[in-house]
Amino acid sequence: YDDRDGKIWMDGKLVEWRDAKVHILTHALHYASSVFEGERCYNGKIFKSVEHSERLHKSANLLDFQIPYSVEDLEAAKYAVLEANGWDNAYVRALAWRGAGQDMGVASRNNPVRVAVAAWEWGNYYGDAKMKGAKLDISKWRRPDPKTIPSEAKAAGLYMICTMSKHAAEDKGCSDALMMDYRGYVAEATGANVFFVKNGEVHTPKPDCFLNGITRQTVIGMLKEKGITVHERHIEPVELAGFEQCWLTGTAAEVTPVGQIGDFTFEVGALTRDIAESYEKLVRS
C-alpha cells in the first residue's frame, strides 16, 4: 500500500502517497496512542461522515488527547482526498496519533498530535462470496473489560487481539473470528458487529465492552422501522445452536451474511437478504 501514486492528507495538506511517512520514534508506534475511523464513500457521498468524524474526536478524547482539527476541517480533508485521487466510491481512513517529539517515554505531553486521511478502493470486505455466508472461527481472545481499556474508543490498541484472532481464523480456512467478551458472552467479530435471528426476532449483543458500530445502529433502526423486534442483550455462546440466521455489520463489512461459526451453521435467510439489500439501498440513496 505504500509505494504508489496518489494523495494522502497529512496535518493540513495533501502530500504524495509515497511520501506520507512518520518517524520511527512516533509515540503511537511504541505505545498504541492512535485512534482511527473506517468510512465508505458511495457515489461521491461518505455515509454518516460527520458521525465518523465525531467518533474520531471522541476516541482521541478517551485516549486523553485532542485532535487539532475540527469536525468541519476533517470533513473537508476527507473530500479533498477523494477528489485528489478521483474516487467516488472508496474506503476512507482517518487517523490521529501522538507523534514524535521531545518525549520518548510513556508520557507524551510535548509531542505533537498528528492527523491523516487516506482513502483506497476496497470492494467486499469478505471477498466475492459475500452473500453466500461467511465462515467464522471462534477466537481464543476475549474483548477486554471496559475497566481495563477504553473499549468505546476506536483505538489501535484494541486491535492487537483482532489481528491475532483473524490470522488464526484464516489459518483454519475461515474469513473472520467471533470474539467472546471478558465474561464469556458473545461480543463481535474482529472488525464488525454481529446479529442473530430466531423465530422472526433479532438478537444482538449489548455493546457494553465493544464498539457500538455506526452500521450496527443504522441496522437496528432499519429493523425497528420494519416492525421487527430487536433484543440487545447478553448472549451466551450455547445459544448459537438455536439461532437460524446470522450476519455481521460494519462500514467495511456492510451487511455480510454468516453461514457458519465454529460448528454452528446458519442459513442466509430472507431477513438477512432483506437487511443487506436495504442497507445497500440506504447507503447509495
Q: Is 137 in the site for ligand PMP (CB under 6 A)?
A: no
Binders of ligand PMP among residues 175 to 194 (CB under 6 A) are 188, 191-193
Binders of ligand PMP among residues 84 to 123 (CB under 6 A) are none
Contact string 212-251 vs ligand PMP (x = CB under 6 A): -xxxx--------------------------------xxx
Q: Is 154 part of the annotated catalytic residue set?
A: yes
Binders of ligand PMP among residues 147 to 176 (CB under 6 A) are 154
CB neighbours of residue 36 within 10 Å: 18
One-letter amino acid for residue 119 of the chain:
A
Q: Is 256 in the site for ligand PMP (CB under 6 A)?
A: no
The residues near 73 (Cβ < 8 Å, ≥ 6 apart) are none
- Residues β-bridged to residue 13: 10
Segment interacting with ligand PMP (CB under 6 A) among 73-81, 112-120, 207-215, 268-276: 207-215
Per the CB < 8 A criterion, the answer to whether 74 and 95 are in contact is no
Note the Cα 26 to chain centre separation in Å. Answer: 23
- Minimum distance from CB of 165 to ligand PMP (Å)? 10
> Which one, 111 or 256, has the nearer CB to ligand PMP?
256
Q: Is 205 in the site for ligand PMP (CB under 6 A)?
A: no
Q: Is 211 in the site for ligand PMP (CB under 6 A)?
A: yes
- Minimum distance from CB of 258 to ligand PMP (Å)? 14
> Which one, 46 or 100, has the nearer CB to ligand PMP?
46
What is the distance between the terminal CA atoms of the chain, rounded to a whole angstrom? 30
Pairing of strands 90-98, 7-10: unpaired
Burial profile 91-128: b = 16 or more Cβ within 10 angstroms, e = fewer: bbbbbbbbbbbeeeeeebeebebbbbbbbbeeeebbee
Active-site residues, by number, are 154
